[in-house]
């Protein structure tokens, strides 16, 4: 069994290592991310573009200093020429739109001078129309970390009026995003130069399919390990019990003792008497002494010298070994009948002794030997040539 447990421990460690690798991969893939500024290889391609209110009569300005390097830096100035001016620096996706449906959050560091309240506008294409999905964020001279939920952006009501779109169509998808725009809002001061720097702009998502797959893999893997472990343990335990039984039968060959005499007739008489009367329920050391005409000490000396056991230990060995043989060979006999036939009137006491000796109850032993014999029969049958 020690060899079995060493192998089981090795399989357990290998399974843990494999689960750790699979878990790391699934957790990594369940949290997709893409850096837009500075851009990494997984992020969609884009170019910077300046968006102002000039086409609508405004005079607001925006000038982009740096893009696609370490940050998006730009200056803007909102004028009061129209009631709702705007000046934005946009990340225009190439070739026309980008699929951002795998992402739900955008994070970045916003630094601006003076401190300001800016706007993020995500332009999505919905049935051929560019729909603005907006939210606000704050920034200051020191830089503020910002995290925005891309799935909970607001679409301004004026857009529905301007595009004559039903107000019920407030939902939007991120599968066709045209651009991300950063710039001044209605809360920004007018006629004042402002400088903005957006850095560490990263998209984050969550894909629960990988977590579900991880759970399924772990359940299947550990269930398979558990089933395999208990089956292998049962086979190993069965082999151990059968090996123990064969060893005991060889050791306690009491039938042979009645034929092959010892040179010392007194020793032979003691061993022959025990082998002949071991199944008597009342057999004890006094009964053997009376039956052989020897002393108690002589009987113990003979058993200790010849077998390395005391009278009680040898008697129990004989009885339990014979009981194990009968359990394996006589399927019709009950456990109580077998216990009585080998000298135990109390079946509960017999069960206790048997389990101490073989590590399982008599009923479990019988099932185990029956299963092993059936398995051996199938293997023998499979080796017979047609």
Calpha distance 356→341 (Å, rounded): 19
Better-predicted residue by pLDDT, 239 or 160? 160
Better-predicted residue by pLDDT, 249 or 111? 111
For the cut 70, the answer to whether the pLDDT of residue 243 exceeds it is: no
For the residues 254-277, what does the mean pLDDT come to?
A: 68
Structural domains present in the chain? 33-206 (2.60.120.430), 252-382 (1.10.10.60)
pLDDT digits (tens, 9 = 90+) for 12-52: 899 999 999 999 999 888 889 999 998 888 889 999 999 99
Query: Per-residue b/e over 281-309, b at no fewer than 16 CB within 10 Å?
Result: eebebeebbebbebeeeebbebbeeeeeb
For the cut 70, the answer to whether the pLDDT of residue 374 exceeds it is: no
Calpha distance 320→355 (Å, rounded): 10
For the cut 50, the answer to whether the pLDDT of residue 386 exceeds it is: no
Residue 70 makes CB contacts below 8 A (sequence gap 6+) with: 37, 38, 199
Please give the mean pLDDT across all residues of the chain: 85
For the cut 70, the answer to whether the pLDDT of residue 111 exceeds it is: yes
- Taking the whole predicted model, whether its pTM rises above 0.75 is answered as no
CB 245, CB 368: distance < 8 Å: no
pLDDT digits (tens, 9 = 90+) for 190-232: 999 999 999 999 999 988 899 999 999 999 999 998 888 877 7
For the cut 90, the answer to whether the pLDDT of residue 373 exceeds it is: no
For the cut 70, the answer to whether the pLDDT of residue 175 exceeds it is: yes
pLDDT at 142: 94
């Amino acid at each position: 069994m020690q060899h079995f447990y060493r192998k089981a421990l090795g399989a357990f460690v290998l399974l843990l290592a494999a689960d750790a690798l699979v878990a790391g991969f699934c957790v990594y893939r369940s949290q997709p991310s893409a850096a837009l500024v500075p851009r990494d290889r997984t992020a969609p391609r884009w170019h910077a573009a300046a968006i102002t209110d000039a086409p609508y009569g405004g005079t607001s300005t925006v000038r982009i200093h740096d893009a696609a390097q370490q940050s998006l830096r730009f200056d803007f100035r909102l004028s009061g020429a129209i009631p709702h001016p705007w000046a934005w620096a946009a990340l225009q996706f190439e070739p026309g739109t980008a699929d951002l449906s795998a992402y739900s959050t955008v994070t970045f560091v916003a630094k601006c001078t003076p401190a300001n309240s800016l706007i993020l506008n995500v332009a999505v294409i919905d049935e051929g129309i560019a729909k603005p999905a907006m939210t606000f964020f704050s920034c200051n001279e020191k830089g503020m970390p910002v995290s925005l939920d891309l799935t909970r952006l607001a679409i301004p009501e004026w857009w529905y009026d301007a595009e004559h779109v039903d107000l019920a169509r407030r939902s939007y998808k991120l599968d066709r995003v045209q651009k991300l725009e950063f710039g001044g809002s209605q809360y920004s001061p007018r006629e004042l130069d402002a400088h903005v720097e957006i850095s560490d702009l990263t998209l984050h998502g969550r894909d629960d399919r990988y977590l579900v797959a991880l759970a399924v893999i772990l359940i299947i893997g550990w269930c398979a390990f558990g089933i395999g472990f208990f089956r292998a343990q049962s086979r190993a335990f069965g082999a151990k019990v059968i090996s123990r039984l064969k060893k005991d039968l060889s050791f306690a060959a009491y039938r042979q003792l009645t034929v092959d005499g010892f040179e010392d007739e007194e020793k032979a008489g003691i061993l022959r008497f025990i082998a002949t009367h071991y199944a008597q329920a009342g057999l004890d050391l006094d009964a053997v002494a009376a039956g052989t005409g020897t002393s108690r000490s002589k009987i113990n000396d003979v058993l200790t010298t010849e077998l390395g056991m005391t009278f009680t230990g040898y008697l129990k060995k004989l009885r339990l070994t014979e009981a194990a043989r009968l359990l394996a060979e006589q399927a019709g006999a009950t456990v109580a009948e077998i216990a009585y036939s080998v000298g135990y009137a109390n079946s509960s006491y017999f069960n206790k002794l048997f389990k101490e000796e073989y590590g399982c109850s008599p009923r479990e032993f019988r099932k185990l030997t029956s299963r092993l014999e059936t398995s051996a029969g199938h293997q023998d049958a499979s080796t017979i040539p047609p």
